[in-house]
Structure 1
Amino acid sequence: MNKVYLDYNASTPLAPEVADHMYPFLKDFYGNPSAVHWAGQPVKEKMNRAREQVSDLLSCSPEEIIFTSGGSEANNLALKGYYFKHLSKGKHIITSKIEHPAIIEPLKFLERLGAELTMLDVDKYGMVSAGDIEKAIREDTILITIMHSNNEVGTLQPIEEIGEIARRHKIAFHTDASQSAGKVPVDVNELNVDMLTIAGHKLYAPKGIGALYIRKGTELEPLIHGAGHEFGMRAGTENTLLAAGLGKACELAGKHVSDSGLADLTDYFWGKLKESFGEEIVLNGHEEKRLPNTLNVSFMNRIGWDILSAIPQLAASTGSACHAGKVELSPVLREMEVPEYIGMGAVRFSLGKFTTKEELDQVVSWLKEVI
Structure 2
Amino acid sequence: MIYLDYAATTPLDPEVKAGMERVWEIFGNPSSIHAAGREARHWLEEGRERIAKALGCRPRELILTAGGTESDALAILGVALSKGRGHIVSTQIEHSAVLTALKNLERLGFESTLLQPDAAGLIYPEQVAEALRPDTILVSVIAVNNEIGTVYPVKAIAELCSSKGVLFHTDAVQAFGTVPSRVEDLGADLISTAAHKFYGPKGVGALYIRKGIELFPLMPGKQEQGYRGGTENLPAVYGMGLAAEKATMVLPQEPQKLLSLRVRLETQLLALPEVELNGHPTLRSPKHVNVTARGADGEGLLLNLDMMGVSASSGSACASGSLEPSHVLTAIGRSKAEAKASVRFSIGRFTTQAEVDAAAQAFAEAVKRSRLAV
2:312 counterpart of 1:316: yes
CA distance in 2, matches of 1:101, 1:59: 27
CA distance in 2, matches of 1:297, 1:11: 19
Question: 5 Å matches for 1:173-212?
Answer: 173-212=168-207
State the shift of 1:314 in Å.
1.3
2:112 counterpart of 1:117: yes
Which residue of 270, 275, 282 maps to 1:288? 282
Q: Secondary structure at the match of 2:63?
A: strand
Q: Secondary structure at the match of 1:40?
A: helix
State the shift of 1:73 in Å.
0.8
CA distance in 2, matches of 1:368, 1:221: 50
Query: Could you list the per-position Cα deviations for residues 94-137 of structure 1 after superposition, in whole angstroms to 9, with x for gaps in the alignment?
Result: 11011111001111111101101111111001111211111111
State the shift of 1:341 in Å.
6.0
What is the aligned partner in structure 1 of residue 319 from structure 2?
A: none
State the shift of 1:340 in Å.
5.3
State the shift of 1:339 in Å.
4.4
Query: Could you list the per-position Cα deviations for residues 53-94 of structure 1 after superposition, in whole angstroms to 9, with x for gaps in the alignment?
Result: 11122111111111001111111111111111122xx41111
Contact 2:177/2:198, CA 8 A, preserved across alignment = yes
State the shift of 1:258 in Å.
2.6
Q: Which amino acid aligns with 2:60?
A: E
CA distance in 1, matches of 2:282, 2:133: 33
State the shift of 1:369 in Å.
2.9
Contact 1:51/1:247, CA 8 A, preserved across alignment = yes
CA distance in 1, matches of 2:117, 2:286: 21
What is the aligned partner in structure 1 of residue 263 from structure 2?
A: 267
CA distance in 2, matches of 1:311, 1:203: 25
Contact 1:201/1:207, CA 8 A, preserved across alignment = yes
State the shift of 1:204 in Å.
1.1
2:73 counterpart of 1:79: no
* TM-score, structure 1 normalization: 0.92
State the shift of 1:281 in Å.
1.8
Q: Secondary structure at the match of 1:353?
A: coil
Q: Secondary structure at the match of 1:292?
A: coil
State the shift of 1:342 in Å.
4.3
Q: Secondary structure at the match of 1:39?
A: helix
Contact 2:269/2:364, CA 8 A, preserved across alignment = no
CA distance in 1, matches of 2:324, 2:237: 38
CA distance in 1, matches of 2:107, 2:340: 33
What is the aligned partner in structure 1 of residue 371 from structure 2?
A: none
CA distance in 1, matches of 2:76, 2:339: 31
Q: Structure 1 39/316 Cα, relative in aligned 2: closer, same or farther at 3 Å?
A: same
CA distance in 1, matches of 2:3, 2:341: 20
Which residue of 355, 367, 370 maps to 1:359? 355
Contact 2:149/2:279, CA 8 A, preserved across alignment = yes
Query: Could you list the per-position Cα deviations for residues 187-219 of structure 1 after superposition, in whole angstroms to 9, with x for gaps in the alignment?
Result: 212322000000111111111111000000111
List, as ranges, runs of 4+ consecutive aligned residues in structure 1 with deviation greater than 3 Å.
339-344
State the shift of 1:335 in Å.
0.7
Contact 2:221/2:227, CA 8 A, preserved across alignment = no
Q: Which amino acid aligns with 1:36?
A: I
What is the aligned partner in structure 2 of residue 38 from structure 1?
A: 35
State the shift of 1:328 in Å.
5.2
Contact 1:184/1:258, CA 8 A, preserved across alignment = no
What is the aligned partner in structure 2 of residue 62 from structure 1?
A: 59
What is the aligned partner in structure 1 of residue 293 from structure 2?
A: 299
Question: 5 Å matches for 1:31-180?
Answer: 31-87=28-84, 90-180=85-175
CA distance in 2, matches of 1:62, 1:369: 50
* TM-score, structure 2 normalization: 0.92
What is the aligned partner in structure 1 of residue 242 from structure 2?
A: 248
What is the aligned partner in structure 2 of residue 323 from structure 1?
A: none
CA distance in 2, matches of 1:168, 1:265: 40
State the shift of 1:159 in Å.
0.3
